[in-house]
Amino acid sequence: MTSPTSHGQPYPQGTAAPQPSAAGRPDRTPDSGRPVEVESPRNAELRAKLVQVRREVGKAVVGQEPAVTGLIIALLAKGHVLLEGVPGVAKTLLVRTLSQALDLDTKRVQFTPDLMPGDVTGSLVYDAKTGEFEFRRGPVFTNILLADEINRTPPKTQSSLLEAMEERQVSTDGVTQPLPEPFVVAATMNPIEYEGTYTLPEAQLDRFLLKLVLDIPERDLEVEVLRRHSAGFNPRDLAGAGVTAVLGAADLAEAQLAAAGTGVSPDVLSYIVDLARATRSSPSVRMGVSPRGTTALLSAAKAWAWLSGYSWVTPDHVQAMLLPVWRHRLVLRPEAELEGVASDSILRSILQQVQVPI
């Protein structure tokens, strides 16, 4: 079975994705009575472009393939991503390089304690020439919004993103402004720094499709990082590193539609619900996964299945996506937190306990 990495990131053990049959699909569908679908040439072309996006990101970022895959899955599933890791593991560089590999508009906001909601969403500005107020759009009106160190700004400013993340729109003075498509928030967060930071509320955490954890790279990979810098790599000059755009908004919209059409059997749907109900009955959990969490897991599993060349979601795809989709949605009991119980360990235990459909 496909198994998540130590942090449950959407990448199987080793470096290869789950292998479909030669036709680019599983050898059999969950319903043996259905004919096996033939892979369309356009789907294969879109998937090849997304694989090329990963290669482009690899020109600048070393050793974070699971996070790269997670960001691509979020794009396919129209979701947002929270990147957590200590300083210096290329969180910001990862998002910047992905943006460079996509022909999409990207803006970056450095979240600080004095940042105001209008600095993110925009605000009404008085025009002396016309004598009227006009809405001046903020950086949220983009395709990929890099929210750097999102936990460094107060809750008032954090909440300014709630409507944008969920409804894909911004409301000001009774007027609704739609956001462009696609729209993805990629937020970074430092897990070890608490001074001058503000905890993200559960309502906002629940709006992130994935929470990806970026680790310190292995020794060989860290040596490769130094080798590249020694050879003249400049992280501020991605074009100089050879990173080029290979996928545009129209291609991404087609890929999103194709991924959303991935088949799911009733048994797999029931499996997702059983996993969610198991989180709600766990003795260490005060609040388990909501129905929004189950739909998020379904969307992510569909995207991962399609990206891997499958026309149907299997339990393997659900298991591979479980930790990154649900790790930030569990609210633990105070006594469990005092004992050092982590959400990842609870989810791994639930994966072992809930019966897998065959």
For residues 27 and 238, which has the higher predicted lDDT (pLDDT)?
238
Question: Does 120 map to a domain?
Answer: no
Q: Which two tokens stand for residue 111?
A: 């979240």
- Going 245 to 249 to 250 to 251, the CA torsion angle's sign is positive
Structure confidence at residue 183 (pLDDT): 94
Residue 239 belongs to some domain of the structure: yes
Domain end residue (candidates: 260, 285, 306): 260
Shared-domain flag, residues 217 and 275: no
Q: Average pLDDT of 15-32? A: 40
What pLDDT is stored for residue 199 in this prediction? 84
How are beta strands 169-172 and 106-110 bridged, if at all?
Answer: unpaired
Closest listed residue to residue 275, CA positions, set 330, 345, 354:
354
Going by the DSSP 8-state scheme, the letter that residue 312 receives in this structure is: B
Kindly state whether residue 240 falls inside one of the protein's structural domains: yes
pLDDT at 75: 95
Model pLDDT, residue 38: 58
Q: Provide DSSP, 220-274.
A: HHHHHHHHHHHTT--TT-TTTTT----EEHHHHHHHHHHHHT-B--HHHHHHHHH
What is the predicted pLDDT for the residue at 94? 92
Measured torsion, CA atoms of residues 265, 270, 271, 273, in degrees rounded to the nearest 10: 130
The DSSP line for 312-329 is B--HHHHHHHHHHHHTTT
Higher pLDDT, 213 or 36: 213
Judge whether 250 lies within some domain.
yes
> At 358, is the pLDDT very low, low, confident or very high (cuts 50, 70, 90)?
confident
Dmax (CA) for the chain in angstroms is 70
Rounded Cα distance between 103 and 288, Å, is: 38
Average pLDDT (326-347) is 91
Q: Which tokens sit at 127?
A: 């025009």
Task: Say yes or no: 201 and 307 in one domain.
Answer: no
Task: Find the mean pLDDT for residues 268-286.
Answer: 95
CATH number of residue 245's parent domain: 3.40.50.300
18 part of a folded domain: no
Q: In this structure, are 107 and 232 located in the same domain? A: yes
Asked whether residue 160 is assigned to any structural domain, the reply reads no
CA-based nearest residue to 64, from 213, 252, 278: 213
Do 197 and 60 share a structural domain? yes
The amino acid occupying position 331 is V
Pairing of strands 331-332, 247-248: unpaired
pLDDT over threshold 60, residue 33: no
- pLDDT category at 211 given cuts 50, 70, 90 is very high
Predicted local confidence at residue 126, as pLDDT: 78
The torsion of the CA quartet 86, 229, 107, 326, rounded to 10 degrees, works out to -30
Domain boundary among 260, 287, 308: 260
The predicted-structure confidence for 103-114, as pLDDT tens digits, reads as follows 889 999 999 999
Q: What residues make up the domain containing 276?
A: 263-358
24 phi/psi in degrees, rounded to 5: 85, 30
Give a yes or no: residue 122 inside a domain.
no
* Residue 185 and residue 323 in one domain: no
Residues 300 and 274 in one domain: yes
Which of 88-92, 105-109, 301-305 has the largest mean confidence? 301-305
Judgement on whether residues 50 and 189 belong to the same structural domain of the protein: yes
In 3-state terms, what secondary structure has residue 218? coil
The band of 1, judged by pLDDT with boundaries at 50, 70 and 90, is very low
Per-residue pLDDT tens digits for 135-194: 889 999 999 999 999 989 888 888 888 889 999 999 877 788 899 999 999 999 988 766
Whether residue 32 is predicted with pLDDT greater than 70 in this model: the reply is no
Specify whether 198 is located in the same domain as 226.
yes
Res 10 pLDDT > 60: no
Phi first, then psi: give them for residue 291, nearest 5 degrees: -55, -30
Number of domains in the chain: 2
Pairing outcome for strands 122-127 and 132-137: antiparallel
Report yes or no: 103 and 251 within 8 Å, Cβ to Cβ: no
Query: Distance between the two ends of the chain, CA-based, in angstroms?
Result: 12
Which of 204, 236, 260 is the C-terminal boundary of a domain? Answer: 260
pLDDT of residue 280: 94
Q: Say whether both 308 and 335 belong to one domain.
A: yes
Q: How far is CA 350 from CA 6, 298, 354, 355, in A?
A: 16, 17, 6, 10
Same domain membership, residue 221 and residue 202: yes
98 and 184 housed in the same domain: yes
Whether the pLDDT of residue 57 is over 60: the answer is yes
pLDDT of residue 256: 96
Quick one: 60 and 148 in the same domain?
yes
In a domain, 280, yes or no: yes
Output the domain CATH number for residue 283: 1.10.8.80
Token pair recorded at residue 323: 């930790």
